[in-house]
Amino acid sequence: MSISPLRIGVWAPVHGPRAAWQDPAEPFDASWPHNRDTVLEAEALGYDATLVAQHTVNPHLPEKDQIEAWTAAAALAALTRRIEIIAAIKPYLYHPVVLAKMALQIENISNGRFAFNLVNAWNRAEFEKAGIPFGAHDARYAYGREWLGVVERLVSGESVTHAGESFRISDYKLSPASPVRARPRIYLGGESEPARALAADLSDVFFINGQPLEDVKAMIADLAARPRRGAPLAYGLAAFVIARETQQEAEDEYHRLLALAAKDAPAKQEQAARTDPNVVMIRTFAKSVRVGTNGGTAAGLVGSYDQVAERMQAFHRAGIELFMLQFQPLRSELRRFAEHVFPRLGRPATGTPAAVASPRATRIG
Ligand SMILES: Cc1cc2nc3c(=O)[nH]c(=O)nc-3n(C[C@H](O)[C@H](O)[C@H](O)COP(=O)(O)O)c2cc1C
C-alpha cells in the first residue's frame, strides 16, 4: 500500500469541549468566535485540516449552543487560505441537489479546499423532534447511498438524470464546478457493513473512530480488500491527544479529565436514550474507558511526546493518512502539540508565538 504524507487536523469546537463539559480549564464555548479563532490558529500553526461536525441541536447537551456546520464552513472557507475544511453531512437533512450546490459554492470560496464527510446519523431526537423521517439503520444507508451517488455526480459537474427510490432528477447540472480539481473530496464516517460498502464504492477517505492500532489495521484490511473503481481509498482516524514531557504527566491529565467526565454521566445517559441502538460505532465505544468523542483516547495517543509521535507513525504505516485530533483545553493543547509533537513527526515546531507568524505555505491538492 502506498501511503501519502501524514496530515494532521483538528475538530472544530462545534458543540463545546470534547472530553468533559464541566472543566474549569475549558469553560463551555461553542460560539462562532471560538470556532473561527481555533481554526485560524490551527491554520497558522500548520495544521492541515479541520472537521466541522454536523448537528442541528447539541447532541450531548441539547439546551446548549451548537454551531451550524455548513454556514460556518462557508465562513471559514472565506477566512482561511490553506487548511482543508471538511463539513459533515447527514443526507436526510438536505436534498442532494441543494447540498451539492452548497458544496460547490464552498469549494469555490475556498479555491479547492473543501470536503464533506457523509455521516448517517445516530441522534434520533434531532430528526424526530423536527418531524424529519429517521429510517432504520440500514434504510438510512440505502437512502444515503442513493443520495451520495447523486451528489457525487453533481459535484463532479455532470449533467444528472436520475430516477431512484427517493429522488427523481432530470437533466440537472451545477455551475460553477470546482475551480481547481475534478470535485471536492468525499469522506465517510461510519463502521457498519453498509457504511464500509458505501465508503469503498463512493468515497475518497474512510474516517475511522479512535480505536487501538490492531483494530484499525483490521478495518483497513477489510476496506482495502473490497472492489473499487479509481484511486485506492485513503484512511483518516479520529483521536483525542494528551501529550506531555513524561508519560506520568500525560496519565495524570488523563485521570483529571476522566474524573471530570464522570460528572457528565447523567447527560450521557440521556444521550444514550436518544441514540439509535443499532448504530455499530456505539459497540466500539463500549469496549473501552476513554475521554473524548468518536473513540477519543481509545486510539492510545496519551503519553510522552515521543510516545504519541511513535504511535502516530505506527498508525501512519498501517495506512492512516489524516489524523483528526481533539484536545482539552483546546487552544493551549493545540499549540503544545504543534510545539512538541510536530517536530517529532518531521514538521517544523510551530507552537511558539514567533513560529506562528510564519506558517508552512503548502496547499492541499
Ligand atoms: C470521524 C467521524 C465523524 C462523525 N461526525 C458526525 C457528525 O458530524 N454528526 C453525526 O451525527 N454523526 C457523526 N458521526 C457518526 C456517524 O453519523 C454514524 O452515526 C456512525 O458512524 C454510526 O454509523 P455506523 O452504524 O455505520 O457505525 C461521525 C463518525 C465518524 C467516524
DSSP letters of 157-215?
T--EEEE-SS-EEEEE--SS--SSSSS-EEEEE--SHHHHHHHHHH-SEEEE-S--HHH
Check residue 361 and give its pLDDT: 37
Check residue 263 and give its pLDDT: 95
* Ligand 1 center from residue 251 Cα (angstroms): 28
Dist CA 92 CA 276 (whole Å): 15
Those residues of the chain that have pLDDT short of 50 are 357-365
φ/ψ region of 111 (left if φ > 0, alpha if ψ in -120 to 50, else beta) reads left
Q: Are 306 and 312 in contact (CB under 8 A)?
A: no
Dist CA 190 CA 199 (whole Å): 9
Cell numbers for 343, please give them. Answer: 517536530
Instruction: Pick from 66, 93, 122, 126 the residue to mutate for probing ligand 1's pocket: most ligand atoms within 8 Å of its CB.
Output: 122
User: Of ligand 1's atoms, which has the minimum distance to the CA of residue 192?
Assistant: 26
* Ligand 1 center from residue 201 Cα (angstroms): 18
Check residue 276 and give its pLDDT: 82
Check residue 78 and give its pLDDT: 98
107 residue type, one letter: E
Check residue 13 and give its pLDDT: 98
Dist CA 138 CA 148 (whole Å): 15
* Ligand 1 center from residue 359 Cα (angstroms): 31
Find the distance separating the first CA and the last CA of the chain, reported in whole Å: 20
Check residue 354 and give its pLDDT: 61
Task: Count CB neighbours of 194 within 10 A.
Answer: 18
> Domains plus CATH for the chain?
7-356 (3.20.20.30)
Check residue 273 and give its pLDDT: 86
Burial class (CB in 10 A: 0-12, 13-18, 19+), 255: exposed
Residue 193: CA atoms inside 13 Å, Cβ hemisphere, count? Answer: 3
Cell numbers for 110, please give them. Answer: 475556498
Torsions phi, psi for 145 (to 5 deg) = -65, -45
Q: CB within 8 A of 248, min separation 6: which ones?
A: none
Dist CA 33 CA 310 (whole Å): 34
Dist CA 187 CA 196 (whole Å): 12
- The residue among 34, 1, 2 whose CA lies nearest residue 15 is 34
Q: Are 110 and 180 in contact (CB under 8 A)?
A: no
161 residue type, one letter: T
Burial class (CB in 10 A: 0-12, 13-18, 19+), 95: middle
Check residue 360 and give its pLDDT: 43
Check residue 332 and give its pLDDT: 97
Ligand 1, residues at Cβ distance < 6 Å: 53-55, 88, 90, 117, 119-123, 189-192, 195, 207, 209, 238, 279-281, 294
Give bridge partners of residue 9 from the DSSP assignment.
49, 324
Strand 168-172 to 160-163 pairing: antiparallel
User: Of ligand 1's atoms, which has the minimum distance to the CA of residue 14?
Assistant: 8
* Ligand 1 center from residue 246 Cα (angstroms): 33
336 residue type, one letter: R
* Ligand 1 center from residue 280 Cα (angstroms): 10
User: Of ligand 1's atoms, which has the minimum distance to the CA of residue 278?
Assistant: 25
Q: Whose CA is nearest to atom 15 of ligand 1?
A: 119
Check residue 1 and give its pLDDT: 60
Q: Give, for 244, the enclosing helix (H) or strand (E).
A: strand 242-244
Dist CA 24 CA 9 (whole Å): 25
* Ligand 1 center from residue 189 Cα (angstroms): 5
User: Of ligand 1's atoms, which has the minimum distance to the CA of residue 123?
Assistant: 11
Q: Whose CA is nearest to atom 20 of ligand 1?
A: 190
User: Of ligand 1's atoms, which has the minimum distance to the CA of residue 190?
Assistant: 21
Check residue 2 and give its pLDDT: 66
* Ligand 1 center from residue 335 Cα (angstroms): 27
Instruction: Pick from 128, 281, 287 the residue to mutate for probing ligand 1's pocket: most ligand atoms within 8 Å of its CB.
Output: 281
Burial class (CB in 10 A: 0-12, 13-18, 19+), 27: exposed
